[in-house]
């Protein structure tokens, strides 16, 4: 008898082995769902279990050897390698129970109850408390261990035309392999080092891959990329395949943020930073020209503000700077940086448009007009018949992918940007250095 239906959705039969992960109930007999759940569980175990075990576990998973994976997790628990359990404990428990390896002596097949030494493995899993594990004791760097200083943890874009970096054999091999994966979106490499300056274990390369949500199973992609790295001489390769557009676990997110983008499906594009002010004096700070263009049409102004405010925050700060048009207002101008993946601007641009009607950087205006239609270009005659592209949201939800965000941050935080800076917002410079390992920011 097939599984029943409830509200149009398949549900497991009564008596069928299932595992509950959050709000999702998965049948242990649903191979695709279980493989995906195990893949996500292994993402959460990376950095906590030995690299060799994680690599082997991903190979087993791609080959459908889930029982071997469940046994390995149970052994890791018995050996004290995990202090808290996560989804992997529920998965392993149900896999072992479904296979009859719960120590009850009633299993058939796979050695259950036949003296192969499995014992009460489910009892071992049940004894481990469940909870959110503390962050793993790793740091990530975009460059090798020999390079020091704050720049070592800043994002790099090695796909940029001016990168001029020669990849070694291992990285060249994984770039070629990723390019052959139709569902792959981006590939990052990060050097993982122990926190607190420990000299052991030695630095290890971690590769993060983003994949299209509806591509083939991530576990299979991870196994193929692992195999390519093994063939190139990388021991116990660490390949973290995450779904594009979804927030990855902290370990993978840190590796990605402080890593180097090695390859991306989309070619690199020029990243531009909008100028907020007309002049910036190294001593007196920024100012606007008296003849700065103004936007008095409230409808046009609101449409522009909608686009600007919909930008994705990339450098968020609570620091404020003084209003240079009306200094009596004090420090009221926000300085959070936003992007749409091609341009970068600060909330100061929106502030001066909203409060004083001052038009943004004309090049940014032209870019917005291209994205939203000429109705948002104040250099054109105002005409209600001009088209406005309604496919792009103006509700704070502009979508910018991980690759584009990384490229923007790599450009914005490049040491070259610091060298070109002529003035730094005092409050913001200190706050960023305290909160992020960032260089001075060009406020012009």
DSSP state of 119: -
Phi, psi (rounded to 5 degrees) for 77: -65, -45
Write the secondary structure of 198-214 as one string of H (helix), E (strand) and C (coil): CCCCCCEEEEEEEECCC
Best CA proximity match to 415, nearest among 389, 385, 388, 437? 437
* Residue 314: predicted pLDDT: 94
Pick the CATH number of 138-264 from 2.60.120, 2.60.40, 3.30.300, 3.30.43: 3.30.300
Average pLDDT, consecutive stretches of 10 residues, N- to C-terminus, the chain (444 residues): 40 55 70 94 97 98 96 95 94 91 49 48 90 90 81 93 89 98 98 88 97 92 98 98 97 97 96 93 90 94 93 93 96 96 96 97 92 58 40 63 97 70 45 32 39
Q: What is the structure's pLDDT at 147? A: 75
Tell me if 261 sits within 8 A of 186, measured CB to CB.
yes
Say which residues have a Cβ less than 8 Å from residue 290's Cβ, sequence separation at least 6.
Answer: none
Most distant CA atoms of the chain, gap in Å: 89
Determine the Cα angle at 42 with ends 37 and 45, to 5°.
135
pLDDT of residue 241: 99
CA–CA dist 224, 218 (Å, integer)? 10
Enumerate helices (H) and strands (E) in the chain, giving the number of each.
14, 18
**pLDDT value for 178:** 99
What is the pLDDT at residue 165?
A: 84
Nearest to 353 by CA among 333, 327, 374: 333
φ and ψ at 97, to 5 degrees? -65, -45
Q: Is 159 exposed, middle or buried (0-12, 13-18, 19+ CB in 10 A)?
A: buried
Q: Which one, of 148, 308, 174, 178, lies nearest residue 229 by Cα?
A: 174
Residue 363 near residue 274 (C-beta atoms within 8 A): yes
Parts of the chain belonging to CATH 3.30.300: 138-264
Task: Check: pTM over 0.95? Answer yes or no.
Answer: no
- How many Å apart are CA 188 and CA 240, to the nearest integer? 10
3-class state of residue 10 by DSSP: strand
- Look up tokens 């936003």; give the residue: 338
């Amino acid at each position: 008898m097939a599984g029943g239906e409830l509200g149009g959705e398949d549900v497991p039969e009564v008596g069928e082995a299932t595992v509950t992960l959050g709000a999702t109930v998965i049948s242990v007999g649903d191979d695709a769902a279980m493989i995906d759940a195990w893949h996500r569980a292994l993402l959460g175990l990376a950095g906590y279990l030995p690299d060799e075990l994680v690599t082997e576990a991903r190979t087993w998973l791609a080959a459908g050897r889930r029982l071997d994976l469940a046994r390995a997790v149970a052994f890791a628990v018995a050996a004290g390698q995990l202090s808290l359990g996560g989804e992997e404990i529920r998965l392993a428990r149900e896999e072992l129970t479904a296979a009859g390896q719960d120590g009850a002596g009633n299993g058939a097949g796979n050695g259950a109850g036949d003296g192969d030494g499995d014992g009460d493995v489910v009892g071992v899993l049940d004894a481990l408390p469940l909870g959110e594990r503390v962050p793993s004791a790793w740091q990530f760097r975009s460059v090798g261990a020999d390079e020091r200083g704050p720049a070592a943890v800043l994002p790099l874009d090695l796909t940029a035309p001016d990168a001029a970096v020669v990849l070694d054999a291992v990285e060249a091999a994984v770039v070629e392999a990723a390019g052959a994966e139709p569902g792959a979106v981006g590939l990052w490499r990060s050097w993982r080092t122990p926190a607190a300056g420990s000299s052991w274990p030695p630095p290890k390369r971690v590769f993060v891959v983003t994949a299209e949500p509806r591509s083939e199973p991530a576990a299979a992609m991870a196994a193929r990329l692992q195999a390519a790295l093994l063939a190139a001489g990388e021991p116990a390769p660490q390949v973290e395949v995450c779904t594009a557009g979804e927030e990855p676990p902290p370990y993978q997110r840190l590796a990605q943020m402080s890593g180097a983008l090695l390859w991306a499906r989309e070619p690199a594009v020029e990243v531009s930073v909008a100028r907020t002010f007309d002049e910036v004096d190294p001593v007196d700070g920024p100012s606007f020209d008296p003849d700065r263009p103004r936007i008095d049409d409230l409808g046009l102004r609101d449409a522009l503000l909608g686009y600007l405010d919909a930008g994705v925050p990339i450098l968020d700060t609570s620091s404020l700077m003084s209003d240079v048009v009306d200094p009596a207002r004090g420090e009221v101008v926000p300085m959070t940086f936003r992007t749409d993946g091609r341009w970068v601007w600060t909330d100061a641009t929106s502030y001066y448009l909203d409060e004083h009607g001052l038009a943004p950087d004309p090049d940014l205006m032209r870019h917005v007009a291209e994205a939203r239609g000429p109705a948002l270009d104040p250099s054109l005659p105002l005409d209600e018949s001009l088209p406005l592209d309604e496919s792009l949201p103006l509700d704070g939800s502009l979508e910018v992918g991980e690759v584009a965000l990384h490229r923007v941050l790599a450009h914005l935080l490049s040491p070259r940007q610091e060298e070109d800076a002529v003035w730094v917002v005092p409050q913001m410079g200190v706050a960023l250095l305290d909160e992020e390992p960032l260089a001075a920011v060009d406020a012009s």
